[in-house]
Amino acid sequence: MSGLDGPTRVTGPDGGGADAGGDAARQRDEALRRVRALLRELGTGDDEIDRAVDDDVVDLLMVDRLLVPAERRLTQGEVSEETGTPLELIRRLWRALGFLDVEEGERFFTELDVEAVNLFRAMLDLGMVDVESAIQMSRVIGSSMARIAEAEAAPGATPILLASGDSVLDADEFARTSGASMQAMARLLEFVWRRHLQAATRRAMLIRHRYGSEGLSPTLVVGFADMVGYTLLAQHLGEDELASVVARFEGLAHDIVTGLGGRVVKMIGDEAMFVVQDAAVGARIGLALADAYADDELLSDVRVGMAVGPVLLQDGDYYGAVVNLASRIVNIARPGSVLVSDELHDALDLEAPGEFAGRALRPRTLKGIGRVQLWRIGQTGERLAAELTRGQRWDRLGEVLRELDYLRDRGEQLLAAARRGELAEFTRDAATGGPAGAGSGAGEADGGDAVGAEVEGAVDGGEVPPP
């Protein structure tokens, strides 16, 4: 391992000896000595360290030993024997937590894995949960923790993971900074879990008091906010710019929804799903989202769809016909607008009479749902006028985009015809206005993700006065 455990000497341009890399070489040697010492403390043998140095994977070895310390390594069968837990149940738990299968006989597991299995068995023995419920909870935990871990390890997200290109230096830097950061993150995760468990338990108790033993299906407002033109942005922005757009979109959604008393259930790419108990609060959230994104210089408009009714709560998510309805509604909403179901419009009249203005749209047939009455809402006065102005702006933009699409397609056809020697035929078509139906741009009922398609697929201006 020449040059790894001591300074290397080379002949300089003038024939004299000089330190290779000077200070950089000495810093690397010192880093390697620190790394060796720490790995030995963590129970790693010199032979394993030497192999990692030779293979230039010292950083990976440090991550393994520091994040999952172990005085001994066990096979999955040995974990089963020590815990008295059937091997197949351990495998189910391991997969539910989101981990890859381990080869039989591989000494991959540690005392941490033994402790986790013992905790799992303790919950079963106490009768706190049955096996299937415990496995399902493990899936939720694994999925949530995997997302947190991926966010921590994302490029540029954590300074200590910015690679220098030298595994020894990277291992030393990780070891130097990770101890304090891991402890802080572990405490932060526990704090956030406790606070969320407190809030979730209070919500569950209040729902049970309100709906009795059928509390698993409370009546809630379900909303979706969808960012317009995300696919178009994704095709034209670089990774850094797109990451900034997504982060800004998620940040605004969380701030507005939680700030007004709702809860963000999940982010689905360019879409945010939220729930709230009160109809008026839901409407305020929807309108605040439409206004905030319209005023944001970085983001395009959003469209919001909402419905109210009984929902099924399971594993921190919401299911049912109301969720499907809200999802369908947002797909046909105009950019910058807020559409609500007929039931939610009625609830707004009862909860907050006079606060919101609504315009009835012609009944629409939604895929998988049927014919429904929808309402475009705004706050009375200037807010509703501003919302309608945004809709007109997107109508005009949609017309321009459709014209551009037609001209682009026409140009491609002309070029292709010229290459085939058929330019005269296309020239005659152009003189007579083109083939029938060219450039019509008819959209699908549920819209698409490109801006032009969204405008075509959106609820048209066919509104009828409120009864």
Length of the chain: 467
Say what the pLDDT of residue 81 is: 94
pLDDT at 320: 93
Q: Are 201 and 292 in contact (CB under 8 A)?
A: no
Read off the pLDDT of residues 363-415 as tens digits, 9 standing for 90 and up. Answer: 988 988 999 999 999 877 655 555 555 555 555 555 555 566 667 777 777 77
Beta 219-227 vs 9-11: how paired, if at all? unpaired
pLDDT at 286: 95
**Domains of the chain: residue spans and CATH:** 216-389 (3.30.70.1230), 395-456 (no CATH)
pLDDT score at 246: 84
Between the CA of residue 316 and those of 141, 205, 250, 334, what are the distances in Å? 11, 15, 19, 30
Residue 83 structure tokens: 């815990």
Long-range contacts, 247-254 (Cβ 8 Å, 24+):
248/296, 248/298, 248/299, 249/293, 249/299, 252/289, 252/292, 252/293, 252/296, 252/299, 253/225, 253/289
> Residue 36 and residue 31: Cα distance in Å, rounded?
9
The pLDDT of residue 415 is 77
- Residue 87, pLDDT score: 93
Between CA 241 and CA 398 the distance in angstroms is 24
Q: Tell me what pLDDT residue 3 has.
A: 38
Model pLDDT for residues 177-222, shown as the tens digit of each residue: 876 788 888 899 999 999 988 988 888 888 777 766 555 578 999 9
**What local confidence, expressed as pLDDT, does residue 386 receive?**
56
The pTM for the full model equals: 0.62
Residues of the chain with pLDDT under 50: 1-17, 20, 433-467
Gap between the Cα atoms of 127 and 117, Å rounded: 16
